[in-house]
Structure 1
Amino acid sequence: MKKWMLPAGVEEALPPVSWQLEDLRRKLLDYYRKSAYELVFPPLLEHLDALLTGTAQDLEQQIFKLTDPASGRLLGLRADMTPQAARIAARHYPAEAIVRLCYLGTVLRSQADDLGGPRSPRQVGCEIFGEPGIAADLEVLRVMLKTLKLAGVRGVHLDLGHVGIYRAQVASLGLDGEDEAALFDIVQRKSHPDLHEFAAARGLKPRVTRAVGELMDLHGEPKAVLARAREVLGANKTIRGALDTLAQTVGELSREMPKLPIHLDLSELRGYRYQTGMVFAAFVAGHGREIARGGRYDGVGAEFGAPRPATGFSADLNELLRLAA
């Protein structure tokens, strides 16, 4: 019996689910093709240092590692296809100003993102390289939401944030790496008592503590959050620009999809180590984790000699099928 058991978090697909997955795969890829995204099939196995560039900085503990008997170099099984798409864009499309790529394939992770979560997601996603403006962010958001609609997922609500706001606050504090990590943890937990204790121990000015505390409380309905954010955080030019980006994004999406629930959380810092701008995630009621996520990660490709702005999203096809109405 033990020989028949799959590793925890690893699953296989059998009929009729396998046919449903194939139908959905074809439907999504047809849509991406019509939307001018080029399909790429990155390899399952790569040199480890290539897999740990850009958006993969938080993935080292999730990558299965092995030594290549041919070269002696350390290899890794991909845990996320986004950094592979960035490598492909830098290596094979260096002369193109804007590159749109899509991908779909299984990734393998040594540990799940959440307790009991999958370790072999069937990842699908789209990335835009070379476009720094909000138009690319809006395009990716539209494609992500259309992906969920094509998958049959209903009752989607969208969370928006912007890591540039927190980055601007932290930059003015002059914290070392250890203290910055401690503050990041406090902000993620939205713990005001820990914030006051942290500030007192390091002699931070009361106005600084108030500003960070305000940031932790800035979540909810977009209009109210943006108004309060401009009132208490708007003196910084970088922060004003980030708030303008969020306001424009909310306005555009609300006009196009008036029934889409949108929630702002200005202390949501998923992907903080590599994300540089707006971040977003889609949720459905009764499901404890996001069903799709993405954001801006400018500067990607620098390790390959072709730095450029980028934004994109990804989702797990298996999970989307399970959530389909």
Structure 2
Amino acid sequence: MQDTDRDLLPEGLGDRLPLHAAASQRVRRAALDVLASHGYERVETPSIEFEKSLASRMAGVQVRRMFRFVDPVSLRMLALRSDITAQVARIAATGLAAAARPLRLSYAGQVVTIKGDGLDPVRERLQLGAELIGTDAVTAAAELVELAIESLRAAGATGISVDFTLPDLVDTLCAQALPLAEGMIGAVRQMLDAKDAGGLVDAGGGAYLPLLYAVGPFETAIERLAAFDAGGVLASRIAGLREIAARVNGTARLTLDPSERHGFEYQSWFGFTIYAEGISGALGRGGTYRILGSAGDETGEAAVGFSLYPDPLIEVLAAEMPERKALFLSLGHDRDLANRLRSIGWITVAALDEGDDPIALGCSHRLENGEAVLL
């Protein structure tokens, strides 16, 4: 019986062939070069860790999204990473605990989840980003928003827009200005996320209705949010949003959705989602958060960061990649000349047999009499 499925890949996983791999490398290099130029040092983390380590450094990490299995050596539960941010948090709290703050780190790598998000079946994605550890001040948040924009632009994204949010908005309001019974808080959050006015009223959150209209272009939405905040509970957050928006200063289109919480499971006072023209869905998210201490410290260490998931951008760039310029080298070619040509940027493909066909091998030129001749 013929084996017809030996080369199948699991749903949501796939290879990157040369064109897409080249686009991926371009995006990764461009973004990481931007981060390095701003003092963010690269760290690399293992793809597998103890489940407890991945789940304990940050509030809101969803272990159920991870592939988990027992380590045959330690007999402890292992997990395949679904988010590198938690690993960087571990590094900051352990190996770099004594390093000067604020600590600036960057990273890139593949992450895997048990299932895709919504209608997107993809289960393995490239994640790259930066974390600034030791503060969650407005100046730090503004730096990370600017860096996310600059990194995506360097990678080839255009028409970038950023949507601001306040992930702890309901917690802040219900603690004092607009009290809610403990059992109502989750339902009010859910209805705000769903932008369901009727459901919000039914959940007992009628006083929160104005938040559904403090949404849209930043300048208009921030004024509506300020008008809603008659008691001044959100004054510092509103001032912070204005300061961050001023720092961005026209490099991206800005919007505001203050009650949005989807994708902000562990962010604290500030969060943002970043988009680009011609790309479906978000390209990344970021914001402020806290790294929990090794002894279960509830306060933890303040931090701010962002994660980009540029696979959709890679798909677009791969379709736009210029045709490869490669120089075919016949048997017996001048090796010193070939070395010099590579040093100035030529890609060379050397013949291994007299019958090698330069066109079939993807070459655009052939080396003849010391010159590159177009095929």
Same fold (TM over 0.5): yes
Kept in 1: contact 2:59–2:265 (CA 8 A): no
Matches of 2:244 and 2:121, distance apart in 1: 31
- TM-fit CA distance, 1:36: 1.0
> Amino acid of the residue matched to residue 245 of structure 2?
V
Kept in 2: contact 1:225–1:264 (CA 8 A): yes
Kept in 1: contact 2:32–2:151 (CA 8 A): no
Kept in 2: contact 1:153–1:323 (CA 8 A): no
Of residues 79-88 and 262-271 in structure 1, the stretch that sits farther from structure 2 once superposed is: 262-271
Kept in 2: contact 1:128–1:311 (CA 8 A): yes
Kept in 1: contact 2:34–2:154 (CA 8 A): no
Q: Is 1:300 aligned to residue 291 of structure 2? A: yes
Instruction: Show structure 1 runs of 5+ residues with no match.
Output: 200-207
Partner of 2:329: none
Kept in 2: contact 1:98–1:131 (CA 8 A): yes
Match of 1:120 among 117, 120, 124: 124
Instruction: Indicate the SS of the match to 2:27.
Output: helix
Between structures 1 and 2, the one with greater helix share = 1
RMSD of Structure 2 on Structure 1 (CA): 2.0
Match of 1:47 among 43, 46, 50: 50
Partner of 1:240: 235
Of residues 269-278 and 113-122 in structure 1, the stretch that sits farther from structure 2 once superposed is: 269-278
Matches of 2:151 and 2:313, distance apart in 1: 9
- TM-fit CA distance, 1:272: 4.5
Matches of 2:265 and 2:32, distance apart in 1: 30
Report the TM-score, using the length of structure 1 for normalisation.
0.89
Kept in 2: contact 1:55–1:275 (CA 8 A): no
Instruction: Indicate the SS of the match to 2:157.
Output: coil
Match of 2:254 among 262, 274, 287: 262
Partner of 2:217: 221
- TM-fit CA distance, 1:54: 4.2
> Amino acid of the residue matched to residue 313 of structure 1?
F
Match of 1:140 among 136, 140, 144: 144
Partner of 2:366: none
- TM-fit CA distance, 1:223: 2.0
Matches of 1:227 and 1:97, distance apart in 2: 35
Matches of 1:98 and 1:262, distance apart in 2: 27
Q: Aligned in 2, Cα 1:228/1:64: closer, same or farther, shift over 3 Å?
A: same
Higher relative contact order (CA 8 A, sep 6+): 1
Matches of 1:292 and 1:40, distance apart in 2: 19
Q: Aligned in 2, Cα 1:132/1:315: closer, same or farther, shift over 3 Å?
A: closer
Partner of 1:322: 315
Partner of 1:191: 196
- TM-fit CA distance, 1:5: 1.6
Q: Aligned in 2, Cα 1:242/1:164: closer, same or farther, shift over 3 Å?
A: farther
Report the TM-score, using the length of structure 2 for normalisation.
0.77
Matches of 1:97 and 1:59, distance apart in 2: 28
Instruction: Indicate the SS of the match to 2:267.
Output: coil
> Amino acid of the residue matched to residue 38 of structure 2?
S
Match of 1:83 among 83, 86, 89: 86
Q: Aligned in 2, Cα 1:272/1:234: closer, same or farther, shift over 3 Å?
A: farther
Instruction: Show structure 2 runs of 5+ residues with no match.
Output: 321-375
Q: Aligned in 2, Cα 1:47/1:319: closer, same or farther, shift over 3 Å?
A: same
Matches of 1:45 and 1:222, distance apart in 2: 40
Partner of 1:100: 104
Kept in 2: contact 1:132–1:309 (CA 8 A): yes
Q: Aligned in 2, Cα 1:293/1:122: closer, same or farther, shift over 3 Å?
A: same
Of residues 94-103 and 167-176 in structure 1, the stretch that sits farther from structure 2 once superposed is: 167-176
- TM-fit CA distance, 1:16: 2.1
Kept in 2: contact 1:270–1:279 (CA 8 A): no
- TM-fit CA distance, 1:126: 0.5
Aligned length: 310
Kept in 2: contact 1:161–1:265 (CA 8 A): yes
Matches of 2:266 and 2:315, distance apart in 1: 30
Question: Which of 1 and 2 has greater Rg?
Answer: 2
- TM-fit CA distance, 1:236: 3.5
Q: Aligned in 2, Cα 1:273/1:107: closer, same or farther, shift over 3 Å?
A: closer
Q: Aligned in 2, Cα 1:55/1:114: closer, same or farther, shift over 3 Å?
A: farther
Matches of 1:55 and 1:301, distance apart in 2: 6
Q: Aligned in 2, Cα 1:304/1:113: closer, same or farther, shift over 3 Å?
A: farther
